């Protein structure tokens, strides 16, 4: 059985999901959806054990703006590393922020959306 579930019909979305997969627990589900406006919504669903007194389902969505996603798709595969690094940095920072808030006794919501534009590509 594969550690992660990738439900990304678009190969670019699947590539981005694989870039951040190891930051999340096993059995995390990644879905990618391209909107009518040609934006990418990359959704990560996982069960968080460290951010609640009991297990909680969490959802993190990266909303990549249409222009940024178009620029990313236009890049040759050898030049996509920067965009992947940006996505990975945002995912890592989001997880760190959630863990820090929980450690400080703050309520941690179960759904987060991060909008990425020019910083992505």
pLDDT value for 51: 59
Q: Is the pLDDT of residue 16 over 80?
A: yes
pLDDT in tens, 38-93: 999 999 999 887 656 678 899 999 999 999 999 999 999 899 999 999 999 999 99
Q: Is the pTM of this model over 0.75?
A: yes
Q: Mean pLDDT score of the chain, rounded to an integer?
A: 92
Please report, for the chain, the start and end positions of each structural domain, with discontinuous segments joined by +: 5-116
pLDDT value for 106: 87
Q: Which residues contact 19 (CB under 8 A, 6 or more apart)?
A: 84, 87, 88
Q: What is the mean pLDDT of residues 13-26?
A: 95
Burial readout 37-71 (b: 16 or more C-beta within 10 A, e: otherwise): eebbbbbbbbebeebeeeeeebebbbbbbeebbee
Report the C-alpha gap between 101 and 37 in whole angstroms. Answer: 34
Contact between residue 102 and residue 94 where contact means Cβ atoms under 8 Å apart: no
Report the C-alpha gap between 30 and 13 in whole angstroms. Answer: 9
């Amino acid at each position: 059985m594969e550690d992660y579930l990738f439900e990304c019909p678009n190969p670019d979305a699947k590539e981005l999901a694989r870039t951040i997969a190891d930051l999340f627990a096993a059995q995390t589900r990644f879905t990618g959806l391209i909107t009518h406006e040609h934006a990418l919504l990359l959704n990560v669903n996982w069960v968080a054990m460290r951010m609640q007194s009991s297990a909680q389902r969490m959802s993190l969505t990266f909303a990549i703006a249409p222009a940024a996603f178009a620029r990313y798709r236009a890049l040759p595969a050898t030049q996509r590393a920067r965009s992947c690094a940006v996505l990975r940095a945002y995912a890592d920072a989001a997880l760190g922020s959630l863990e820090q808030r929980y450690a400080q006794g703050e309520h941690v919501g179960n759904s987060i959306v991060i909008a990425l534009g020019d910083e992505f590509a």
